[in-house]
Copies of this chain bind each other. A is one copy, B any other.
Amino acid sequence: MTASSSETLLAQAQQVCKKKGARFTKVREQVFLLLANHQGAVGAYDLLAQLKEIDPAAKPATIYRALDFLSTQGFVHKIESINSFVMCHHFGDCDHPVQLLICDQCGNVEEIQSNNFDLALRSMADANGFTISHQIVEAHGNCKTCNAISPSE
């Protein structure tokens, strides 16, 4: 991700917050930018280390609170299977269900969105009398680029 596009994302996020009346504070913006400048997923404590370079007083709670806010706004997704966080590039599009493709080789994370997929899951759940409030779909494997580099593995 380039610096310019992270600025663009930030501007978009600011818009969303303004519209919703959510407080996009300094810490939250800082963490947002750290995430936006990351390729792939980042752990909370990696973010903390980076945040500390700007704000040496930062503590775990600082990061977790910011991540909490950013997740709630839909700016960031938590990747449950690797306890990491990734910037979402489709926020504002409402509260979308997410499917993630996580490359175990290069660490890149691709976000795909398929309403069909969401519907399929919901209808299967429905058949069991189950009502879904939140879904986690994370696929691990090798991305296009890594497949091209070492296709036989």
Q: Which of A136, A139, A140, A144 lies at the interface centre, i.e. has the most chain B CB atoms within 10 A of its CB?
A: A139
A137: interface (CB < 8 Å) = yes
Binds B, one of A14-22, A44-52, A122-130: A122-130
User: Of B112, B129, B144, which contacts A143 at CB under 8 A?
Assistant: B129
A86, chain B: closest CB distance, angstroms: 15
Spell out A's residues near B (CB within 8 Å). 80-81, 99, 101, 103-104, 110, 112, 114, 116-117, 120-121, 124-125, 128-144, 147-148
A91, chain B: closest CB distance, angstroms: 20
**In the complex, are the beta carbons of A124 and B141 less than 8 A apart?**
no
Complex Cα gap A80–B138 (Å): 10
Quickly give the copy total for this chain: 2
User: Of B110, B131, B132, which contacts A128 at CB under 8 A?
Assistant: B110
A135 — which chain B residues lie within 8 A by C-beta? 137-140
A132 — which chain B residues lie within 8 A by C-beta? 101, 139-141
With A116-B120, A121-B99 known as contacts, the answer to whether A136 contacts B137 (CB < 8 A) is yes
User: Of B104, B121, B128, B138, which contacts A117 at CB under 8 A?
Assistant: B121
Complex Cα gap A153–B96 (Å): 21
**In the complex, are the beta carbons of B117 and A130 less than 8 A apart?**
no
Q: Which of A112, A124, A130 lies at the interface centre, i.e. has the most chain B CB atoms within 10 A of its CB?
A: A130
**In the complex, are the beta carbons of A130 and B143 less than 8 A apart?**
yes
